[in-house]
């Protein structure tokens, strides 16, 4: 702003004073008795500031013309005439001819300060203008006033605070930055989702962005604040992986649960840590929790039903699956709401059946099973089989049982009731089951492909205990069946279909 340099001329009669006196009292007060007070300023928007500046400019032009008239007729360094003292903190800091100059110059100073800080500011001083007398050389120009004010004003920076559930979490430079910080946090928690599927991202907590006065040191960088909100803390604690470390031992050492260590290191794979890797030991407790609402298309399984056919020739604890059931498939479009990756709500929008489920058909018996103990009589453990190798001497060796050939998967039955004493792998026997029938008699079933009983289990005579296979040393699917009396092998052929005790 340029100083008002007006031609100074000496005249005797202050014409302008007359003019002023002719003005109505109210108008005079408006023009001259106006006391400016800069109490902490209301934050005007640029537009409002603009209109204030325009109003000031108008007043300036008006008062300028009065002043011009006045000065034209009153250049005077001998007599004191009407002036206005600017008072700050009870002290006069300068004198003005035109009281409106304070407003105009303060506004310019504020604008300049905002520009140099790239920031809104608030001037804290209270200025007052009171009537006084001064000679022409005692009043200041607007340039001088600018310098005086620049050295006088105290101001604070107007920044923006992010409050989460009414608690101040951090301060950033601008409202734009604050909004961005919240958006960044939302992005962080929704980054793993397919962007096209996201309908809405909301925070659980109340977020408020408030204008506050702050000092430079209180203002955080936006990206630092994003990090702080995500982790819930500024704390840093790292651990460098050493030889022999696992997630488990590290968690235990630092008194953390495995889950905590995993959640503190979302970008590290617990199964693939290497010596020298840096692990974070601070478990994140985000200030903001984010809910992501997504539209998803999913395939869902529909359960199948099981239909039973009852036959009298089977025991009621036996089952034969005649037809395997199949799950049905439906294509579902749904709105899914997830919080921290966990589904909290699901609204099905549409459902399309891709395939209907197929019922499972099972045959089961009506007979009560016999008691689970030895009867003293052996039945054929593999009906419908033929003997492929007999008990006794065989090519220079001795065959301890008899081989009974039948298709792989055929049901092997317990020759008599008893207690399972072995069920597992046994070298050349392959998968093998031993049953103790009491009275010193045991039976052995070898080369099985599957076993349906376990050690200690009591079985009844005829119970399906295994399936025919060719595990261990075997030249094709068959059951190697042994009968032992007090531990010594006897010829099974002599015992099947026989009361043995």
**Binding residues for Zn ion (CB under 5 A):** 403, 480
Residue with nearest beta carbon to Zn ion: 480
The dihedral over CA atoms of 324, 328, 329, 333, expressed in degrees to the nearest 10, equals -150
Q: Is 166 or 488 the residue whose CB approaches Zn ion more closely? A: 488
Q: Is 95 or 484 the residue whose CB approaches Zn ion more closely? A: 484
The dihedral over CA atoms of 387, 388, 394, 395, expressed in degrees to the nearest 10, equals 170
Q: Is 286 or 469 the residue whose CB approaches Zn ion more closely? A: 469
**288 SS3 class:** coil
Q: How far is the CB of 249 from Zn ion (least distance, A)?
A: 50
Q: How far is the CB of 434 from Zn ion (least distance, A)?
A: 15
Non-local (6+) Cβ contacts of 240 within 8 A are 276, 277, 278, 279
Q: For strand 418-425 and strand 431-438, is the pairing parallel, antiparallel, or unpaired?
A: antiparallel
Answer positive or negative: Cα dihedral of 203, 208, 209, 212: negative
Q: How far is the CB of 482 from Zn ion (least distance, A)?
A: 8
CA 473 to chain centre: 56
Q: Which residue has the tokens 């994003």?
A: 226
Structural contact between residues 291 and 201, judged by C-beta atoms closer than 8 angstroms: yes
Q: Is 103 or 403 the residue whose CB approaches Zn ion more closely? A: 403
Structural contact between residues 279 and 268, judged by C-beta atoms closer than 8 angstroms: yes
**Tokens found for residue 379:** 């039945």
Q: How far is the CB of 500 from Zn ion (least distance, A)?
A: 20
Structural contact between residues 329 and 383, judged by C-beta atoms closer than 8 angstroms: no
Q: How far is the CB of 401 from Zn ion (least distance, A)?
A: 5
Structural contact between residues 66 and 6, judged by C-beta atoms closer than 8 angstroms: no
Q: Is 161 or 442 the residue whose CB approaches Zn ion more closely? A: 442
Q: How far is the CB of 442 from Zn ion (least distance, A)?
A: 16
Q: Which residue has the tokens 């109490």?
A: 39
Q: Is 120 or 403 the residue whose CB approaches Zn ion more closely? A: 403
Cα separation of 422 and 154, whole Å? 92
Q: Is 149 or 432 the residue whose CB approaches Zn ion more closely? A: 432
Q: How far is the CB of 270 from Zn ion (least distance, A)?
A: 49
């Amino acid at each position: 702003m340029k100083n008002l340099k007006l031609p100074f001329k000496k005249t005797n009669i202050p014409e302008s004073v007359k003019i002023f006196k002719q003005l109505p009292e109210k108008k005079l007060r408006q023009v001259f008795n106006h006391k400016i007070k800069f109490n902490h300023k209301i934050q005007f928007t640029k537009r409002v500031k603009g209109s204030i500046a325009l109003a000031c400019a108008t007043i300036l032009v008006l008062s300028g013309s009065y002043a011009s008239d006045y000065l034209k007729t009153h250049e005077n360094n001998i007599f004191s005439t009407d002036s206005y003292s600017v008072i700050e903190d009870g002290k006069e800091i300068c004198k003005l001819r035109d009281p409106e100059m304070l407003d105009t110059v303060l506004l310019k100073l504020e604008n300049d300060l905002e520009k140099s800080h790239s920031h809104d500011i608030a001037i804290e001083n209270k200025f007052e203008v009171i009537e006084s007398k001064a000679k022409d050389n005692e009043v200041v120009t607007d340039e001088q006033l600018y310098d005086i004010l620049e050295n006088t004003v105290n101001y604070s920076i107007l920044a923006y605070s992010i409050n989460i559930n009414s608690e101040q979490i951090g301060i950033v430079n601008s409202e734009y930055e604050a909004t961005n910080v919240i958006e960044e946090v939302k992005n962080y928690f929704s980054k793993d989702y397919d962007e096209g599927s996201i309908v809405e991202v909301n925070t659980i907590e109340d977020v408020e962005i408030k204008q506050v006065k702050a000092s430079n040191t209180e203002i955080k960088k936006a990206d630092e604040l994003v990090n702080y909100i995500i982790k819930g803390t500024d704390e840093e604690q790292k651990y460098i992986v050493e030889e022999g470390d696992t997630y488990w031992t590290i968690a235990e050492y630092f008194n953390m649960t495995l889950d905590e260590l995993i959640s503190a290191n979302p970008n590290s794979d617990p199964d693939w840590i290497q010596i020298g890797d840096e692990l974070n030991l601070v478990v994140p407790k985000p200030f903001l929790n984010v809910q992501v609402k997504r539209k998803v298309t999913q395939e869902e399984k529909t359960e199948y039903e099981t239909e039973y056919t009852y036959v009298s020739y089977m025991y009621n604890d036996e089952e034969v699956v005649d037809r395997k059931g199949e799950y049905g498939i439906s294509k579902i479009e749904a709105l899914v709401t997830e919080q921290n990756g966990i589904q909290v709500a699901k609204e099905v929008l549409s459902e399309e059946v891709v395939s209907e489920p197929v019922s499972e058909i099972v045959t089961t018996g009506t007979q009560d099973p016999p008691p689970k103990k030895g009867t003293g009589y052996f039945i054929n453990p593999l009906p419908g089989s033929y003997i492929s190798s007999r008990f006794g001497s065989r090519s220079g060796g001795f065959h301890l049982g008899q081989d009974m050939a039948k298709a792989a998967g055929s049901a092997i039955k317990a020759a008599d009731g008893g207690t399972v004493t072995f069920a597992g792998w046994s070298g050349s026997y392959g998968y093998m089951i031993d049953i103790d029938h009491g009275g010193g008699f045991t039976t052995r079933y070898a080369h099985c492909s599957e076993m349906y009983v376990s050690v200690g289990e009591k079985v009844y005579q005829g119970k399906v205990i295994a399936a025919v296979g060719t595990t261990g040393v075997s030249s094709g699917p068959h059951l190697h069946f042994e009968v032992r009396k007090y531990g010594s092998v006897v010829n099974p052929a002599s015992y099947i279909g026989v009361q043995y005790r």
